[in-house]
């Protein structure tokens, strides 16, 4: 429906701009052809002869294009030649007018916009694989699209900045990601992006305007009541409105910062596992950060600073706050109403503090704080907030203990949720279980994947993703996890992966054993290598391979080999 309406709009704009040139051409052709047919000519014998309408049309057609093929069907009289001169000039003028009108049409911004929307809607309509809608292609949206591409997920992008859409077209993604320069808060554009399509799995709202994010989420909810929505929001008021829409996951980057910082201090192994699962640069599985405990200095008490302070207090840490605009804060050891500089850092007690958080809204201020800290105490553990992804090179050169980048952290959290919501549920589960359980999981994962980077994926026991498993279970046979992940090249070993969780209806099984029996409709969260994912996918959709893994016997296939085996047995 959306594509048809855009086609009507394109047609309307075209007809409105070229109807006058078309009328001019019709009139000029009609006058010229009529004149040629009515003016008398002479044949080879000097007899009067009139040109037929077909010959007149043919002659006027190539004359209007200034192409000459001679006088037909006979040589012209002077009267005919005079009319031909008139037709030639009128034809050329009318065609120049028409071509200039067409040129103005193709440069008309309304025509280009309508044409782009029509092509975009048709492209989205032809998408057959599952995809997501990304509203806002800033730093976070760009990083999320890259992560989706690396996991072979498709996406459709809406953004109001034409330069960002042009940049999208130049990205070398594994999966094609169409984009449209349009306001995602307008329902028509959401429909064009496929919000009502069955294979649209979620919409991610990442614009920098809280009101626009709320507006997009409301429109999407009415257009598709069952569609999951992931929306970035740092405002309590907007988050409250979003929570009333149902099936909305609110992503607050500042709260995520605080959670990660708290995790790095109180659960370093879990922080290492979480960072490894999202492939954080410089993080190696099984080698957690050594974050010191004790007194902390918090530079900046804005939205992020408030969340950091909340989690500091939650973990029994009373930080010293440096901020010129901070009011009285419960749970703070001391508040210094100043910008972070050499004097204020000395006053905060940098000589004996455990660590410093540079968490202001400006990257240059955070880098300046780092330089002041290193001038006063070179070995201090520093945690820095990076606000803009474009400053990545400078922050890499700073070599801080931990860098919290808003866009990257948000994109990783959303990507984990899109791959499977069970990932964050597993992290929360391990947080409750303690560091010893986390160490066991890390050790098992290192045995499974070796030095490879962890790769997460989700598999559903359904006909479209596991046809062989469905056929096996429907035959009233059982199948365990250990049998499913068995290596077809070595039945005594398993594939380079492990199962982290199983979602079964309302039941959630964390860290299941190999003896766990699979059931129809199970959603399984795997972690392993990319090669093991392709191997497992082949197993789940190939009945011969699956039977071989279960029985250990590779029976002959086909009529000839089956007959030969039966014959040899009988003999």
Give whole-number Cα distances, 243 to 205, 218, 228, 254, in Å.
14, 11, 12, 18
Tell me, yes or no, if the pTM score tops 0.85.
no
User: Residue 17: its pLDDT value, please?
Assistant: 77
What pLDDT digit, counting tens, does each position of 38-55 carry? 998 887 777 888 888 888
Residues 380-409: what's their mean pLDDT?
Answer: 87
User: Residue 445: its pLDDT value, please?
Assistant: 93
What pLDDT digit, counting tens, does each position of 136-180 carry? 999 999 999 999 998 889 999 999 999 999 999 889 899 989 999
User: Residue 392: its pLDDT value, please?
Assistant: 87
User: Residue 532: its pLDDT value, please?
Assistant: 93
pLDDT grade for 3, boundaries at 50, 70 and 90: very low
What pLDDT digit, counting tens, does each position of 124-133 carry? 999 999 999 9
Residues 431-447: what's their mean pLDDT?
Answer: 93
CA-wise closest residue to 118 among 283, 244, 2: 2
Q: Is the predicted pLDDT of residue 8 greater than 70, yes or no?
A: no
Q: Is the predicted pLDDT of residue 556 greater than 80, yes or no?
A: no
Spatial contact of 114 and 10, defined as CB atoms under 8 Å apart: yes
User: Residue 80: its pLDDT value, please?
Assistant: 86
CA-wise closest residue to 133 among 217, 58, 59: 217
CA-wise closest residue to 152 among 177, 118, 188, 182: 177
Q: Is the predicted pLDDT of residue 402 greater than 90, yes or no?
A: no
Give whole-number Cα distances, 502 to 74, 453, 505, 547, in Å.
89, 22, 10, 23
What pLDDT digit, counting tens, does each position of 498-516 carry? 999 999 988 899 999 999 9
Residues 93-103: what's their mean pLDDT?
Answer: 86
Domains of the chain: 2-109 (1.10.287), 127-251 (3.40.50.720), 265-419 (3.40.50.720), 430-551 (3.30.70.1450)
For the chain, percent of residues with pLDDT exceeding 90: 43
Q: Is the predicted pLDDT of residue 301 greater than 60, yes or no?
A: yes
């Amino acid at each position: 429906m959306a594509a048809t309406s855009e086609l009507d709009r394109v047609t309307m704009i075209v007809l409105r701009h070229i109807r006058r040139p078309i009328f001019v051409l019709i009139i000029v052709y009609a006058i010229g052809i009529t004149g040629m047919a009515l003016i008398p000519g002479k044949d080879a014998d000097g007899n009067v002869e009139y040109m037929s309408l077909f010959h007149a049309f043919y002659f006027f057609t190539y004359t209007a294009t200034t192409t000459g093929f001679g006088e037909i069907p006979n040589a012209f009289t002077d009267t005919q030649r005079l009319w031909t001169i008139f037709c030639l000039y009128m034809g050329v003028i009318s065609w120049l007018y028409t071509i200039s009108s067409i040129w103005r049409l193709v440069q008309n911004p309304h025509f280009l916009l309508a044409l782009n929307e029509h092509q975009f809607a048709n492209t989205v309509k032809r998408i057959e694989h599952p995809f997501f809608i990304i509203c806002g292609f800033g730093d976070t949206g760009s990083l999320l699209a890259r992560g989706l591409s690396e996991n072979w997920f498709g996406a459709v992008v809406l953004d109001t900045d034409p330069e960002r859409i042009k940049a999208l077209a130049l990205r070398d993604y594994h999966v094609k990601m169409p984009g449209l320069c349009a306001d995602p808060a307008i329902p028509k554009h959401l429909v064009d992006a496929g919000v009502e399509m069955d294979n649209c799995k979620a919409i991610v709202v990442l614009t920098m305007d809280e009101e626009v994010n709320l507006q997009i989420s409301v429109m999407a909810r009415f257009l598709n009541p069952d569609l999951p929505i992931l929306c970035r929001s740092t405002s309590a008021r907007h988050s409250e409105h979003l929570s009333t829409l149902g099936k909305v996951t609110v992503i607050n980057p500042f709260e995520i910062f605080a959670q990660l910082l708290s995790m790095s201090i109180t659960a370093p192994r879990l922080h290492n596992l979480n960072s490894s699962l999202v492939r954080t640069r410089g993080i190696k599985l099984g080698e957690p950060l050594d974050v010191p405990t004790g007194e902390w200095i918090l530079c900046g008490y804005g939205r992020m600073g408030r969340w950091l302070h909340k989690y500091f207090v939650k973990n029994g840490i009373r930080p010293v706050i440096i901020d010129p605009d901070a009011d009285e804060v419960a749970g703070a050891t001391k508040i210094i109403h100043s910008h972070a500089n050499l004097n204020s850092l000395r006053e905060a007690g940098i000589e004996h503090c455990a660590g410093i958080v540079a968490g202001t809204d400006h990257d240059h201020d955070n880098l300046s704080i780092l330089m002041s800290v290193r001038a006063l105490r070179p070995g201090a553990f520093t945690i820095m907030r990076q606000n803009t992804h474009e400053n990545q090179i400078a922050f890499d050169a700073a070599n801080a203990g931990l860098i919290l980048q808003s866009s990257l952290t948000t994109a990783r959290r959303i990507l984990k949720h899109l791959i499977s919501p069970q990932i964050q549920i597993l992290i929360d589960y391990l947080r409750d279980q303690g560091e010893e359980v986390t160490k066991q999981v890390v050790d098992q994962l290192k045995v499974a994947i070796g030095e490879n980077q962890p790769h997460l994926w989700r598999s559903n026991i359904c006909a479209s993703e596991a046809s062989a498993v469905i056929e096996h279970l429907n035959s009233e046979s059982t199948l365990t996890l250990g049998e499913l992940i068995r290596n077809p090249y070595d039945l005594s070993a398993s594939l380079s992966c492990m199962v982290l969780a199983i979602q079964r209806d309302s039941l959630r099984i964390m860290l299941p054993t190999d003896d766990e029996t699979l059931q129809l409709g199970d959603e399984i969260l795997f972690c392993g290598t990319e090669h093991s994912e392709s191997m497992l996918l082949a197993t789940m959709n190939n009945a011969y391979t699956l039977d071989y893994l279960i029985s250990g016997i590779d029976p002959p296939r086909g009529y000839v080999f089956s007959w030969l085996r039966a014959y040899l047995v009988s003999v």
